[in-house]
Structure formats: C-alpha cells, structure tokens
A and B are shown apart, each in its own frame.
Chain A
Amino acid sequence: MIIKHDVVIVGAGLAGLRAALEASRYYDVAVVSKVFPTRSHSGAAQGGIAAAMGNVEEDHIDWHFFDTVKGSDYLADQNAAEVLVNDAIPAVYELEHMGVPFSRTPEGKINQRKFGGHTRNYGEAPVLRACFAADRTGHVLLHTLYDQCVKNNVRFYSEFFVTDILIKENIIRGLVAYDMIGGEFTTFHCKAMVFATGGYGRTYKITSNAHANTGDGLGILLRAGLPLEDMEFVQFHPTGLYRYGILLTEGARGEGAYLINNEGKRFMEKYAPKLMELAPRDMTSRSIQTEINEGFGINGEDYVYLDLRHLGEKKINERLPEITGFCRKIAGVDPVKEPIPIQPTAHYSMGGIPVTIDSEVLADGKSQKVEGFYAAGECACVSVHGANRLGTNSQLETVVFGRRAGKAIVEFLKENGTEKADLPEDQIKTSIDRVEGIKNNKGDEKVGVIRHELQETMMRKVGIFRDEQKLKEMLKKVRELEERAEHLQIDDKGMKFNTDLTEALELDNLLHFAEIIVSGALNRQESRGSQYRTDYPKRDDVNWLKHTLAFKKEGEFIFDYKPVVITKFQPKERKY
C-alpha cells in the first residue's frame, strides 16, 4: 500500500508534535510512530523547561547562553545555542497559551525552579530558570501538544514501525513502514520529512530511557549513507533509581535535595564547592561514580543516597509527587521518611543527525543539504548541547527546533510546491527484503541474549569512565555481536503485531550505530563533558575542539571532523 502526504513526520514526541503543529497550519501532515503519541518518551521528562524569563528572580538570556555553552564544555555550536536561548521565552509562552498547566507563582505567573548548571551572572550561583509543572513537565507538554494536534486534525499512524527511508539523488521521497496492526508493509510518499525519533539510551543496561528508545532513526540514516555527529557523547544522569535506572529528576536537587555518601557527607563539596548538588550532570555523575569507586558507596555497594527528607512532606508532595509515587510503588522507599538509593543512569544522547539551525539534515555533515529532509529533538545534533547537556535544555530544544523544522518546511513547500519525487522501487524492495530476511532467518541466536550482552558490556566499558583498553575490548565485542546477529532466530513468523520482529529490528538499529559510539570515544583522546578518558584526563582544545562525523560506507565506518562554531564565549577552564 502507498500513502501520500505532503509532510511525513517520524516520531510523536515533543519535537515531532511541535513540527506537526507548525506544518499542519498550511499543509497535509502525517505523523508516523511506533507507539501511540502520548506513549512517547518525552512524557517521562520531569523537571522543567529552561527559559530566562525571570519570573521569580533576575535572569538574562545571555546568562542562559553562557551556561549552555559552558555546560557543553565548549563543544556546542554557539550560533545554535544562541538560537535556543533566544527562542526559549517565546516558546514557553506559546506552550502556556496552548494550555500547558505550568505550576504558578503566588501572583499567577509561570513558576521557576533551580537546575544543574543554570546560574546567575555567568556562574555565580544557581538561578531559578526552569519552568515546571510539578515533576511531570514532559508529561503535560506531551499531552497538551497532542491535544493541539487533535484540534488541528493532524493525521496519526500509530504503531507503524519505520524500517527505512527512501532517498535518491539527495532528495527525500518517502519511507517504508511495518504496519503492526494491519500486518503489512506500507510505503509513505511525501515531499518533506522530519525525523524526530529520539535517543538511544537502550544501548545501555542501566538507563532512564523507555524500552522504545533504541535510536531507530539513527540506524535508518546510517543505512541510507548519511552521517551521524558526536555519538560518543552519552549523558549519564546522576540520579537514577538504584538497580532500575529510572529517572529521579534533577528538580529534586533544584528544590534542595542532598547527595550523601556512606559517611553521611554531602560529598559534592569536594567536587563543585560553589554549585554543590547543582553542578552539571557530567561532573555530578563522575563525582558519584568516584565516591562509589573509592568505597564511599552505601554499605560499600554501588549506590549513594539522594536525600529529600529535610524538604518536608508538604513540599515533597507538592513539587515532586511523581518520583515520590514510583519510589514507593516500585522500590518500596518512602522519600518523606528515607533517603533514596541512586546511581548514575544512561539518560541522553547529545549526538545524532547533523542539522542546520533550521533543522535541515546535512548529507555530508557540513554544508550539503538533503532536499526536503529535516530532523529535530534528541535524534538531531544541532549542536546546542555539545559534550554535555544541561537539564531542562532538552525539552526546550524539542519545541524550539521542532517549530523551526515546521516553519522551514512551510517555506520549502511554498517555494517548491508539493509534487513528490518518484519513489525508488528498488529501495522499497530492499527494505522489505531486509525485514523478511530477519523474520525468516534460521539461526541459533536470540534477540534478548545479544541485546543484553550489548547493554551490559556498554555499561561497563563505555560508561562514565573510559580508557583505551576498555574501548578496544568493546569494539571487538560489538563486532562479535554484529556477526552473531546475522544468525538470529525469531519465534513469531506472523505479520500481526509481531513485536518479536520489531525487537529484532530495534536490535539491528542498535548494532548499526553502537560501533560509532565506541570508535568515536576511542578516537577522541581527551576528556570533555560526558566523555571522560582516564588515560587522557584533560580537555585538549588544540586537537579536539571539533565535532566527530561518522559515515558507514560499504560496511566500513569512516570518520571525519568539523570545527565548532564559536561566536562569543572563548573556551575556558570549566569550574563550578
């Protein structure tokens, strides 16, 4: 079956929905997603969305700009970071006008809380900048944007698993998807496309990410010969619920929670005396891991405590009800009465699809655009986050760059019309054959086993602390797993809601880019942001103030680099 739309958006999280809203004002838009829109992982974002509106205390866009660049360890492209902070305030007001139920100040304005790395006056002290709705900000943003899409009659194709894009002569033409409920392959034919497919936290064993976050969009792009940028930069969130990895918002520390080691000490005073628990995530996660490695974990085990108790029951229930709820339900810990056991958890992918500040996908990663193809949100790398993202800047990124993608598409279609380029039949066949091949493969390997080995070894060897030996071992391991994955055997041979098949396709995507994370980290002989090399513990601006680009050509990975855009803030030593 072939379905035609002017615009096809892949992914129904915040970036995808925001792009859909913008483009649907003028054109026929479809959103294709492997889950129902409100199941998207944007809904798990908790703490807030940054905007220097100064509702509670003095704040300035330029402070936000500086914090974002410094937080990125100077790897953010400053032209992009400037767009992010400039668009932030109108973007949040616009969300409010759409009906987002933000928490309020006593006079009725949008309330704001503190968050890691967000400071007043270029690093002096934490500032109240994160606009929030209790600790379910992402949830209410996602539901409000979905509601707006319902109002605008956006067409949704839920539970369609995209297998490949169709691209020829550098023009996007459509995509192939497996319709899980219909039980058949469907081709979408379009003039413009947005990828808003999210991150790849599920490359790791301990992660805050949903089962769905397997970076499918990135695997698809590599298969289409397009590059990925800065994939070695994976953020570990400091406070994942011990053993589960479930996110406990930085908003907890924004409200005043402590990090405590086995001696009952607030150990962050050793690592970030000025910002303490509100240091950026890369530093805080490293500090926690250092405490654990040096024997200061609770009971000598690999966790420390997040302590909320002194905040009092009223504030905890009012400001942090979601995390309190699942701590009680899932871990049997009552944060009002007990400290919460936590460990760093794989959380966010700074890297992704190289795009312009108008979300246009770059075929060479540098300047050559793919006609009609856009990407926004976590799957994209603009790069506003560089080597380390600040909390609350990701929800901001999704709405700012999702909107810009939508606007750019409207301009593109006004200029070029909606007549679609021909579908490359051979590519449709190749994609379906690949899926059928995986489904009907006769081998002796199980998806669950290979995926577990990947996640478990990535955790140990490409985690917070990396070195050449571990990375080389991991590279060998990834190649071994890729080899073994050719002998997969799945049980479900049907076509209706075959999640045995979609899990195999997800694993295929994970294995497509896992090697890039590892090789990128191995090549980069320095420590910057989330990438910490114990054998190269210093940042090296002379050799490594540049973005990594990786392509897959004829089965081999080729690496290239491009300079960082520096406009206002020269790289300096990063202290908090």
Chain B
Amino acid sequence: MIKVNVRVSRFNPEEGNVKPHFEEFTVEADPTEKVLDLLHKIKWEQDGTLAFRRSCAHGICGSCAMKIDGRNMLACESLISNLKDPTRVTVEPLQSLPVLKDLVVDMDDFFKKYEIVKPYLINKTPPPTKERYQSVEDRELIDESTKCIQCAACTTSCPSNWKNPQFLGPAALLKSYRYCFDSRDEGMDERIRILDNGDGVWRCHTIFNCVEACPKDINITWHISELKKKLVSREY
C-alpha cells in the first residue's frame, strides 16, 4: 500500500459564488488500483459530497472520462502504478464543457452534436426476409468505429473544438463515419450538408489530440480523413 496525494477539482453550484478550486486528499491504495478507486475511497471514507460519474468500471460504458494529470482518460482504466508519480495525481473535469458539480460536466452539447450527424442506418430499400449481406471486408471498414463508447475524451481534447464550439468534433464525426461507410447505408446524400461545411469535417486540422485521448485506441483522425476523401471524390 502507498499513500497517494489526490488533488481534485471541486465546484458546488449550491455554494453561491465559490469558483472551481482544488482540494487535496490523502488516500491509501495499492498501486494496482485505479484512479476510480481513489475517488471512491474519498467519497466513501472521507467526503461523501464529491461528485463524479462512473458505472461499469472496465472501460465500456464511457461514464468516467476525466482529466487525469492533464490528460483525458477513463478513471476506471487508469492504473495508479502508471501515473507519472504514483504518489501524486491531479483530477479535473473534461475541459471545454460546462461543469455542473466537481467532476461532472454538462454533456448536452456533446450529445446534440451526436444527434446532428444522423447517427443511424439510412436504408429505404425494404429489407430482405433474412439479413442484408455484408462482406467480411465491408464489415472490417466500420469495425474500429463501432468501438466508440461516447465518453467525450476526444472532442473535449480537440483544440479546433476549443476554438470553435460549433465544430461537430471528433466523436460525432466518427459516428458519422460509422454509418457513412456501412455498406448497408444509403444516407450519404442526406449527410453531405451536415459534414461538408465549416463546422463539419473541414474544421478538423489533423492535430491528433483525439487519437491520443481515445481510451479505445481508435484512430479517429484517420476516420475523419476518410470522410473528407469521400466528400471530395464525390461526383455531382
């Protein structure tokens, strides 16, 4: 067991004018434990008012993305032993979204962008009685994009998104790719206007922050580039 100094960003909207500030806790932990375990120990043993989201605790539900030592990560997958200094860690809410309380951010804007890209299969041809066939190669094209857990680590790490909050951002564009490149989808025409403008794919300047931040190791920038290629190579 080691002692870990945990600096947590605190903000309580019900405490009047108090601005976000850091509070420090000392927590005993095994180095194989996760940052989420540190937060739980604070909440359950020291200060029940600490607010954060979490659920599955193994990187599939996407609830616990936060800034850990300056980088967007899932708290449930961040091993204490992998920290820069396992005896000290700083935990903050995701950048660029409004903070509701402590580590909990307002995700409304993030999910609105998700809805804008028409995140569903568009196919107006009546389906066959069995499955629509899809080759192994066509399925492979969308495989990586279906790994996304909508944790927002990418979009909130994107400098283009910081500068222009209207930008759809990497998560929504990745979702768009997932359907645009699905061999069963016929909705590209409906999606062009959404993607082919200043708040769409062209706002991505291949900075690769999203790739670095993605806890599912998705090469998001590559996917956005494929969308760009698809748009420029279309015949009108």
Tell which of A39, A108, A494 touches B134, judged by Cβ atoms closer than 8 Å.
A108
Tell me if A447 counts as interface (CB < 8 A to partner B).
yes
Interface contact A491-B60, CB-CB below 8 Å:
no
Interface hub of B115, B132, B148 (most chain A Cβ within 10 A): B132
Interface contact B63-A35, CB-CB below 8 Å:
yes
Tell me if A539 counts as interface (CB < 8 A to partner B).
no
CB 8 Å contact bits of B27-53 with A (1 = contact, 0 = none): 000001010000000011101110111
CB 8 Å contact bits of A256-295 with B (1 = contact, 0 = none): 0000000000000000000000000000000000000000
Tell me if B97 counts as interface (CB < 8 A to partner A).
no
Interface hub of A35, A102, A211 (most chain B Cβ within 10 A): A211
CB 8 Å contact bits of A298-338 with B (1 = contact, 0 = none): 00000000000000000000000010011001101000000
Distance between Cα atoms of A1 and B13 in the complex (Å): 21
Distance between Cα atoms of A36 and B139 in the complex (Å): 28
Tell which of A44, A110, A244, A494 touches B131, judged by Cβ atoms closer than 8 Å.
A110
Tell me if B14 counts as interface (CB < 8 A to partner A).
yes
Residue of A nearest to B144 (CB): A321
Distance between Cα atoms of A148 and B62 in the complex (Å): 20
CB 8 Å contact bits of A100-126 with B (1 = contact, 0 = none): 011111111110000000000000000
Tell which of A40, A104, A499 touches B135, judged by Cβ atoms closer than 8 Å.
A104
Distance between Cα atoms of A38 and B152 in the complex (Å): 13
User: Which chain B positions have C-beta within 8 A of A39?
Assistant: 53, 55-56, 61-63
Distance between Cα atoms of A244 and B12 in the complex (Å): 32
Tell which of B14, B123, B131 touches A495, judged by Cβ atoms closer than 8 Å.
B14
User: Which chain B positions have C-beta within 8 A of A181?
Assistant: 100, 106
CB 8 Å contact bits of B132-168 with A (1 = contact, 0 = none): 1111100100110011111000000000000000000
- B126 shortest CB reach to chain A, Å: 9
Interface contact A330-B60, CB-CB below 8 Å:
no
User: Which chain B positions have C-beta within 8 A of A109?
Assistant: 130-131, 133
Tell me if A136 counts as interface (CB < 8 A to partner B).
yes
Tell me if B233 counts as interface (CB < 8 A to partner A).
no
Interface contact A490-B61, CB-CB below 8 Å:
no
Tell me if B71 counts as interface (CB < 8 A to partner A).
no
Interface contact B129-A139, CB-CB below 8 Å:
no
Chain A, 1-47, CB within 8 A of any chain B CB: 35-36, 38-41, 43-44
Interface contact B58-A330, CB-CB below 8 Å:
yes
- B25 shortest CB reach to chain A, Å: 14
User: Which chain A positions have C-beta within 8 A of B123?
Assistant: 97
- B77 shortest CB reach to chain A, Å: 5
> Contacts A492-B49, A494-B14; is A150 near B60 (CB within 8 Å)?
no
User: Which chain A positions have C-beta within 8 A of B188?
Assistant: none
Tell me if B177 counts as interface (CB < 8 A to partner A).
no
Tell me if A59 counts as interface (CB < 8 A to partner B).
no
Chain A, 470-511, CB within 8 A of any chain B CB: 490-492, 494-500
User: Which chain B positions have C-beta within 8 A of A494?
Assistant: 12, 14, 49
Distance between Cα atoms of A244 and B179 in the complex (Å): 35
> Contacts A93-B130, A330-B77; is A41 near B48 (CB within 8 Å)?
no
Chain A, 44-103, CB within 8 A of any chain B CB: 44, 53, 92-93, 96-99, 101-103
Residue of B nearest to A159 (CB): B53
Interface contact B55-A210, CB-CB below 8 Å:
yes
Tell which of B13, B14, B44 touches A448, judged by Cβ atoms closer than 8 Å.
B44
CB 8 Å contact bits of B171-195 with A (1 = contact, 0 = none): 0000000010010110000000000
Interface contact A491-B56, CB-CB below 8 Å:
no
User: Which chain A positions have C-beta within 8 A of B106?
Assistant: 181
Tell me if A514 counts as interface (CB < 8 A to partner B).
no
Tell me if A453 counts as interface (CB < 8 A to partner B).
no
Interface contact B120-A147, CB-CB below 8 Å:
yes
Interface contact A210-B179, CB-CB below 8 Å:
no
User: Which chain B positions have C-beta within 8 A of A133?
Assistant: 146
> Contacts A101-B182, A104-B135; is A93 near B129 (CB within 8 Å)?
yes
Residue of B nearest to A494 (CB): B14
Tell which of A210, A446, A492 touches B56, judged by Cβ atoms closer than 8 Å.
A210
Tell me if A429 counts as interface (CB < 8 A to partner B).
no
Interface contact B136-A104, CB-CB below 8 Å:
yes
Tell me if A420 counts as interface (CB < 8 A to partner B).
no
User: Which chain B positions have C-beta within 8 A of A40?
Assistant: 61
> Contacts A93-B129, A97-B132, A106-B136; is A210 near B61 (CB within 8 Å)?
yes
Chain B, 49-89, CB within 8 A of any chain A CB: 49, 51-63, 77, 79
Interface contact A136-B49, CB-CB below 8 Å:
no
Distance between Cα atoms of A44 and B52 in the complex (Å): 20
User: Which chain B positions have C-beta within 8 A of A496?
Assistant: 12-14, 100-101
Tell me if B104 counts as interface (CB < 8 A to partner A).
yes
- A92 shortest CB reach to chain B, Å: 8
Residue of A nearest to B12 (CB): A494
> Contacts A101-B143, A103-B139, A496-B14; is A322 near B60 (CB within 8 Å)?
yes
Tell me if A212 counts as interface (CB < 8 A to partner B).
yes
Tell me if A140 counts as interface (CB < 8 A to partner B).
yes
Interface contact B43-A500, CB-CB below 8 Å:
yes
User: Which chain A positions have C-beta within 8 A of B32?
Assistant: 332
Distance between Cα atoms of A490 and B104 in the complex (Å): 19
Distance between Cα atoms of A102 and B150 in the complex (Å): 20
Tell which of A99, A139, A212, A246 touches B182, judged by Cβ atoms closer than 8 Å.
A99
Tell which of A107, A212, A325 touches B133, judged by Cβ atoms closer than 8 Å.
A107
Interface contact A447-B56, CB-CB below 8 Å:
no
User: Which chain A positions have C-beta within 8 A of B115?
Assistant: 150
Interface contact A491-B47, CB-CB below 8 Å:
yes
Tell me if B207 counts as interface (CB < 8 A to partner A).
no
CB 8 Å contact bits of A187-225 with B (1 = contact, 0 = none): 000000000000000000000001110000000000000
Interface contact B147-A136, CB-CB below 8 Å:
yes
- A453 shortest CB reach to chain B, Å: 13
Interface contact A148-B146, CB-CB below 8 Å:
no
User: Which chain B positions have C-beta within 8 A of A151?
Assistant: 118, 120
Distance between Cα atoms of A98 and B122 in the complex (Å): 9
Distance between Cα atoms of A105 and B133 in the complex (Å): 10
Tell me if B231 counts as interface (CB < 8 A to partner A).
no
Interface contact A93-B131, CB-CB below 8 Å:
yes
Tell me if A231 counts as interface (CB < 8 A to partner B).
no
Residue of B nearest to A133 (CB): B146
> Contacts A109-B131, A500-B43; is A35 near B55 (CB within 8 Å)?
yes
Distance between Cα atoms of A181 and B130 in the complex (Å): 44
- B68 shortest CB reach to chain A, Å: 14
Chain B, 1-38, CB within 8 A of any chain A CB: 12-14, 32, 34
Interface contact A104-B134, CB-CB below 8 Å:
yes
11 contacts across the A-B interface (CB closer than 8 A): A36-B63, A93-B129, A96-B132, A97-B132, A139-B146, A150-B120, A211-B55, A490-B48, A494-B14, A498-B51, A499-B51
- Given A41-B55, A244-B57, A499-B43, 10 additional A-B pairs, CB 8 A: A35-B55, A36-B111, A38-B62, A39-B63, A43-B61, A43-B149, A96-B131, A101-B182, A109-B130, A497-B104
